[in-house]
Amino acid sequence: MSNHVRGRCAALMAGACVAALATPLLAQAQTATALPPIQASAAPEDANSPASPSERQITGEILARRAAGSADTMSLIAGEPGMAVYANGGISSLPVMRGLADSRVLVTVDGVEITTYCPNNMNPPGSYVLPGRVEAISILPTLSPVNAGGDNIAGVIAVTTRPPAFADEGEGLRVTGEVGASYRSVADAVGATLQASVAGERFSLGYEGAWNRAENYRTGDGRRARSTLYEAYDQALTLALLTDHGVVTLRAGKHVSPYEGFPTQRMDLTQNDSSFADLRYEGTYGWGEVTAKASWRSVDHEMNFLADKGGSATGGMPMNSQGRDLSGSLAVTLPMTDGGAVRGGLEAHRADVDDWWPPVAGSMMMGPQTYWNISDGRRERTGLWGEWEAKPSANWTTLVGARVEHVETDAGPVQPYAWTGMMNMPDAMAARAFNARDRGRADDNLDVTAKAIWRASDTTTVEFGYARKTRTPTLYERYAWGLGTMSSSMTSFAGDANAYVGDPDLKPEVAHNLAATVKYASLDGTRGLTVSAYHSQVEGFIDAVKLADLAKGFVQLRFANVDARLYGFDASGHAQVWETPALGRGTLTGTLSWVEGENRDSGDNLYHMTPLTLRLGLEQAKGRWTHQAEVELVGEKDAVNALRHEPKTAAYALLNLRSSWKGERVRVNLAAENLFDTAYDLPLGGVAFGDFKAGGGVPPIRPLPGPGRSINLSLAYAF
C-alpha cells in the first residue's frame, strides 16, 4: 500500500478513535427493555420482517430459545433456510450459507470484521461473542447489498450485541441488568452471564460478562466424542453518550479461552487471548444519517495437543500465532423524496500476523530452530462503495450498488526447523524457494449488486437480482509454504485432517450470483411462505489439487483456483392451525434447504455440501408459555468430495422438544434435544480425528458423530 493510502487509513482510524465502542441505532438506544420480547413465530415471517424478502432476522424468543441449547453463536443460524454450520470447536463452528462456507461468508460483530488468526480456523469471528450477549442476528444471503460489506462471495451474517440503554426524561439514574445461567446435560456444560448498566438521560455505562465450560459431549450410542471440550470467558465495558444528533459509543473487552478441543483437527487450542476496542458514532441530521466506526483487536493464540490427542499444553508440538486488526469506516445515508435513499462510504482494514512454531527439546524433526509458518504477514484492504435505493412506484423498489476494493497481501522470509537433515529437507527446499520469490500481491476487486422488489399484491412480494462478489485469498491460502508431511498437515481448516500448501499466485474468487425470492404473507399474519432459488457461478473458486498421497489414507493438497458452480433452493413457512382460549395459539412452521456444488474443472462434488434438510415444528403459545415440538430430517449425504476422501453419512431424524416461560423479570427455557438419543453422523462434521488418534490411528477414519440426547435448562432474571 502506498504511503498516501496508508496516511488516509491512519487519519480515518485516528479520527474515529476519539470516542468509543459499538452501539445500535439512535431510536433503539433511547429505549431500555429488561428482556427481549417473545415472538411466537420466526422473525422473518411476522410483521416486523425486514424490507428485503430474502433477508432473515433472528431475535427475541427465537434467539433466546436457541441460545439455551448452545454456547456457540454460529450454531444459532442452523435452523434457518439455506444455513448450516461446519463442526469445529465447541464455541467456534463455521457458517455455511447456501453451500459457501467459512471466509466466503462475511461475519460481522456490531458491524466490525474480525480476522481469523490460525492455520486451523480455531478463532473465527463467531467465537468472540457468546450467545448470551447477542441481541439479534441478520442473515443476508447471495444478494447482500454492498453497504453490508465486501471481501465475500456468499453473503453476510451480522451479529448485534445488546445495545446501551438511556434513562427516560425526568426518570433520574436508572440501574438495570440481567443475570443468567444454563446447563446442557449432553456435555455436562454450564454457563453464566451477567449484564448490568447505570444510565442517565445522556450517558450509559454497562458491563457484560459470560463464562461457558463443557466436557466432551456424549453421542447417541453412549460414547464420548473426544476433543469436544472447551472453556471460555468474555467480558466487555460499554460507555455511551447521547448527543443532540446521535450516539457515541466506546466498547472494550477481552475474550479468553484457556482450552478448546477440536475433534476434526490434529491440534487443539491451548490458549486464545483477545482484547478489543471499538468506537462508533451514529448521528441523524436534517440532511441524513452518518455512521463512523473504528476498531482494534489483538489476538494471541496457542495450539498443542490436549489429553485426548496424547499431549499437554507444555509438551507435544507448540504452535503460536499473533495477530492484530485495525479498521475504520465512514458511511453516509441521504434520504430521497421518493422514499428511497443514496448511501456511500469508505473502509480500511489491516491485518498483521506472525505464525511460528517453537522448537521442541530433544526432537530431531522439530528443531533446533523456530519454524516460521508466516513471518510479517500483512493483508491491507481499502474500499469505496455507493448505492442507490429508489422507489419508482408504490409497488416497486430497486437497489443498485457498487463497491471497489484494493487488497494487498505480503509475507516476509521464513525458515524451517532446520536447514539440513533428511527429515527437514522438503521444508528446507520449500523455504528457499519461497524466500527467493516475490511474495507481494495486489488485487483490485469489484462488487456489484442490482436487485428489485415487486409488491405484486397486498400479500405477495417478489425479489430478484444479480450480484457480483469478490474475495481475495487469506494469508494462509497464499503463504502457508511447508511441503513436509508434518508441516503441511498443520494447515488444515477444512475439518478433513488432510495437509494443505498455499500458493502466492492464487487469484481472487469472483462469484456471479443470480437469486429470486417469492414471499407470501396473509393479511392477518396467520400464514406465510417464502421460497428462494439461486445459482452461483464462481470464477477462481479456491479448491485444491493433489500433490501426494500420505499415510493412513490422507492426502497432501495445494490450494488452487478452479471454476465452480452452485445452485439450490430453500423455503420457510408458517400457518396458524388453531387459536382458542383454552389452548392459546398453535402454529405449524417449516424450513427446507437443498444445494449442490460442482468443481467444473474436475467434475468432482464441492466439499461439504449440505444434504437435503427439512425441519417441521408445531408451536403453542398461551399466556406466558411457549412450547415447541420440532422434527429435523436430514437426507443421506452421498454427493461427497472424492479428492479429500470426504466420508458419506446416512440419513437421520431427530426430535426436539422445547418450552419457555417469561414473566415480568424471569425467563426460563427448558429443552430436550435429540429426545430419542439417536446415533448419527454429522454430514458437515468432517472426520473424528480425536477418536482416530485415541484409537491408535488405524484406518479408516470415521465421520464425526453428532451429540446424543441433551436436557437443556437456562434461567434469566432481569433487574
pLDDT at 22 over 50: no
Residue 657 parent element (H or E): strand 652-662
Its sign, for the CA torsion 398, 597, 108, 707, is positive
Backbone φ and ψ for 127, nearest 5 degrees, come out as: -75, -10
- The tens digit of pLDDT for each residue in 525-583 reads 999 999 999 999 999 999 999 999 999 999 999 999 999 999 999 999 999 999 999 99
* End-to-end CA, the chain: 51
pTM of this structure: 0.91
3-state secondary structure of 646: coil
Structural contact between residues 65 and 669, judged by C-beta atoms closer than 8 angstroms: yes
Rounded Cα distance, 273 and 250, in Å: 20
DSSP 363-407: -SSS-SSPEEEEEEEEEEEEEEEEEEEEEEETTEEEEEEEEEEEE
Closest CA to 151 of 510, 541, 597, 659: 510
Its sign, for the CA torsion 664, 670, 671, 676, is negative
pLDDT at 302 over 50: yes
Closest CA to 511 of 532, 540, 533, 475: 540
Q: For residue 20, what pLDDT is reported?
A: 28
Q: For residue 314, what pLDDT is reported?
A: 55
pLDDT at 597 over 70: yes
Structural contact between residues 642 and 605, judged by C-beta atoms closer than 8 angstroms: yes
One-letter amino acid for residue 706 of the chain: G
Neighbouring-strand partners of residue 445: 405
pLDDT at 316 over 60: yes
Residue 510, C-beta contacts closer than 8 angstroms, at least 6 positions apart = 153, 468, 469, 470, 538, 539, 540
Q: Are strands 246-260 and 625-634 parallel, antiparallel or unpaired?
A: unpaired
pLDDT at 433 over 70: yes
Q: For residue 50, what pLDDT is reported?
A: 53
Backbone φ and ψ for 142, nearest 5 degrees, come out as: 65, -60
Q: Note the Cα 54 to chain centre separation in Å.
A: 18
Closest CA to 303 of 285, 290, 282, 317: 317
3-state secondary structure of 443: strand
Which residue would you say has higher pLDDT here, 30 or 312? 312
Task: Using the structure block, give the residue that is written with the C-alpha cell 522438503.
Answer: 426
Its sign, for the CA torsion 429, 433, 439, 444, is negative
CATH class of the structural domain 160-718:
mainly beta
DSSP 235-301: EEEEEEEE-SSEEEEEEEEEEEEEEE--TTSSSEEEEEEEEEEEEEEEEEETTEEEEEEEEEEEEEE
Q: Would 3-159 and 160-718 be classified into the same CATH topology?
A: no
Rounded Cα distance, 617 and 656, in Å: 9
CATH superfamily of 3-159: TonB-dependent receptor, plug domain (2.170.130.10)
- The tens digit of pLDDT for each residue in 38-82 reads 333 333 333 334 579 999 999 988 888 888 778 999 999 998 999
Structural contact between residues 45 and 531, judged by C-beta atoms closer than 8 angstroms: no
Closest CA to 683 of 636, 623, 645, 719: 636
3-state secondary structure of 580: strand
What is the domain partition of the chain in residue ranges?
3-159, 160-718
One-letter amino acid for residue 270 of the chain: T
Its sign, for the CA torsion 274, 486, 493, 119, is positive
Q: Indicate the average pLDDT of the chain.
A: 91
Its sign, for the CA torsion 500, 480, 704, 136, is negative
Cell of 192: 453464566
